[in-house]
Structure 1
Amino acid sequence: MNTSYYVHLAQKIDHGSWTEKTGHDIVGLPRQNFGNDCGIFLLMYTLCIVTGVGFDFHEMDMPLIRQWWCRLLMERFKIEGHGQRFAFWTDEARSLVQGTLQPVYRVPRSKAVSKNVPVHIKAVSDRTTEEKRLVDFIVKLQGSEEHLLGVLNGKPSKWLHNVTSSRVPVYLDSEEQQDILFSYLRGVLDGTPTQLSFTDEVQFICNVLVPEAIIYALSVLRNLSLQEAERVFLSGPQYDYSEREEFNRKIEKQLRKEGRSFN
């Protein structure tokens, strides 16, 4: 994207210093991983920002959200009648803009994941739901906080030797949940006096607090010992066979377009 045009336009509207922000600067912003949902993501970003309702949607909701937008446009714009094109500006629309009414577009998970949804999409949905449950336990319920405070107050942790390492343990597949968890752990660290020595706060959070928080949460939620929960953590995200098949299919298709073979 050519940002110079937008910078010039911004200066025309209002002189002064402007700060460029990206999606990575917005906490909890749902991420787009596929290339055919750009327009719907942009619509939902805009709707959530102007109404102030928060980003309560995920990539797996895109098929349903597409249907919702189509119905909304057909109903509000009266597509079959030319003379009522702007009759959609109702009290409901004003309430949406003012933030006093939350738009309804989500469907309960049991209905959203139907027989018409591909298996690999359902697998992503199930993993995302499980990851959100894990992060909610840590962040919203503060289920791991007592354990984390113990580590910051000197409780033995095998992860402390990784503070200066470049290896960052990965368990959460969702960037959104990673951001939520990291922001929470940074708050815990900043608000807790500790005698532990480290030079890089980000490395310390990623290499010590992230594994400690997730392993403890896994042990509680899955009724595992800490050793068993650690093995689950180290195994990383569990991908369904259908997801691997879909990934291979996309790679094969791309290589075929480039005139190369897939082995």
Structure 2
Amino acid sequence: MSFPHISEADSEEPSFEATPTKPAKKVLPDRTRAARDKANKKIVEFIVKARGADEHLQDILKSKKPSRWLKEFLNAPPYLTCIETYLEDDSQQDLVVDYLEKVYQEVNAELLPRVNGNNIKFILDVLFPEAIIYAISAVDRIDYKKAEEKYIRGPLLSQRERLIFEEEILEKKRKQRLQQETPFAL
């Protein structure tokens, strides 16, 4: 028996080139972000629900404990500075900041250092890092100095997260470039 000869134009199957193609690699979900969110949730719960950092913050506000962040705040220029937060989730940040505002209000204003009416800057520049560092120290059961180093280093990002972030930035730039090149037609 012989098979009928079908021309390439009649065939429904695509023609294959001589060079082999790599099989599609299945991309597994990146679990690092989920693990960081879970760890950060424990930190937030320690600060807000368990009120674990209260005594530490009270001691700093009453000048019983030295604070690197308070020292930097007092020596910083009066204009607004940009701070890095350890927490990536906005709702977690909001919970901690709201709680720190309450702690700040509970302390007698005379006991506070020269805040000069800039309460929010004081909370973000001094109380926020102190609370997070103290919580990292307690939750991870590490020394305060090591927790401070971990806070300063920030969350560790996976290679995939960096690539995704870079791709998002490049996509935004492409869109901006396209908008600039093509004027709006009305």
Q: Structure 2-normalised TM-score?
A: 0.68
**Shift, 1:163, TM fit:** 2.3
Pick aligned residue for 1:213 from 114, 131, 135: 131
**Shift, 1:244, TM fit:** 1.0
Deviations for 1:212-239, whole angstroms, at most 9, x for unmatched residues? 1111111111111111111001011221
Partner in structure 2 of residue 139 of structure 1: 48
- Aligned 8 A contact 1:144 1:216 in 2: yes
How many residues of Structure 1 are paired with residues of Structure 2 in the alignment? Answer: 143
- Aligned 8 A contact 2:42 2:139 in 1: no
Deviations for 1:156-192, whole angstroms, at most 9, x for unmatched residues? 2121123253242421111111110000000001011
Deviations for 1:180-211, whole angstroms, at most 9, x for unmatched residues? 00000000010111242212101111111111
Q: Structure 1-normalised TM-score?
A: 0.49
CA distance in 2, matches of 1:256, 1:186: 41
Pick aligned residue for 2:119 from 201, 209, 228: 201
**Shift, 1:251, TM fit:** 4.0
Deviations for 1:100-141, whole angstroms, at most 9, x for unmatched residues? xxxxxxxxxxxxxxxx99523x33222212111111111000
Partner in structure 2 of residue 126 of structure 1: 35
What SS does structure 2 have at the residue aligned with 1:232? helix
Partner in structure 1 of residue 95 of structure 2: 180
CA distance in 1, matches of 2:174, 2:83: 35
Task: Name structure 2 gaps, 5 residues minimum.
Answer: 1-25, 179-186
CA distance in 1, matches of 2:174, 2:90: 30
| CA 248–195 in structure 1, closer or farther in 2 if over 3 Å, else same | closer
- Which structure has the larger Rg over C-alpha atoms? 2
CA distance in 2, matches of 1:243, 1:232: 19
| CA 218–123 in structure 1, closer or farther in 2 if over 3 Å, else same | same
CA distance in 2, matches of 1:250, 1:150: 43
**Shift, 1:254, TM fit:** 5.3
Percent of aligned positions that are identical: 34
CA distance in 1, matches of 2:173, 2:125: 37
- Aligned 8 A contact 2:48 2:99 in 1: yes
Task: Name structure 1 gaps, 5 residues minimum.
Answer: 1-115
| CA 160–253 in structure 1, closer or farther in 2 if over 3 Å, else same | closer
